[in-house]
Amino acid sequence: MRQRTSLVVLLTAITVGCIHKQSGPVSPWERVNVNLAALAQINDDIAKGVIAVQQAGTITVQQAAPVLNYQETVAKDHIALENILAAGSAQALSQSAEIQALLNEIKNQGTALIQSGGLGVKNPKSQQMFAQDLQGIVNLAEVVLADYQLAEVK
């Protein structure tokens, strides 16, 4: 699991920096959508990792529940975001407040969960590990928020 975390942190760094396009520059709109999709995929991978760790008996149900509840919230917020984005950039830009509110919810709830220390993981190293996992999601939400604001300006 520790190795998985290292990979997730590394992948987050790669995701933020390295979107490649066959021809022409990557548009802000493409950046928003690709980084959002990466956020969803990393969120899915972490959720499955937490479930695996709980089922292996490393953490209890009570310890896993708040993390998994957050990850389900991220997935549902992400669906709401995609429903807006799927209508196209013009429509999305008219729903700026809602998009930013959803991204802020992902960011703020993740930050609160990390800061609460309420992950309930007995092993301090494991607690740091889940905090790092969640920090990756928070970081990507911040990146998407910045991408979105850039797309709004252009």
* Distance in Å, CB of 13 to other proteins, minimum: 9
The residues, ordered by sequence, that sit 6+ positions from 94 with a Cβ below 8 Å of its Cβ are: none
Place of tokens 């708040």: 66
Tell me which of 3, 56, 125, 153 binds other proteins, using CB under 8 A.
Answer: 3
* Distance in Å, CB of 75 to other proteins, minimum: 4
Specify whether the CB–CB gap between 96 and 152 falls below 8 A: yes
Number of residues that bind other proteins (CB under 8 A): 52
By CB under 8 A, tell whether 39 contacts other proteins: yes
Specify whether the CB–CB gap between 130 and 121 falls below 8 A: yes
Residue 7 backbone zone (phi > 0: left; psi -120 to 50: alpha; other: beta): alpha
Nearer Cβ to other proteins (16/114):
16
* Distance in Å, CB of 67 to other proteins, minimum: 10
By CB under 8 A, tell whether 94 contacts other proteins: no
* Distance in Å, CB of 121 to other proteins, minimum: 17
The Cα 8–Cα 18 span in angstroms is 15
By CB under 8 A, tell whether 105 contacts other proteins: no
Tell me which of 58, 82, 120, 152 binds other proteins, using CB under 8 A.
Answer: 82
Burial of residue 122 (CB within 10 Å: 0-12, 13-18, 19+) is exposed
Task: Please provide residue 120's backbone torsions phi and psi, each rounded to the nearest 5 degrees.
Answer: 70, 25
Place of tokens 């807006």: 84
Binding site for other proteins (CB under 8 A): 3-4, 6-8, 10-11, 14-15, 18-24, 26-27, 29-30, 33-34, 36-45, 47-49, 51, 54, 61, 64-65, 68-69, 71-72, 74-76, 78-79, 82, 85-86
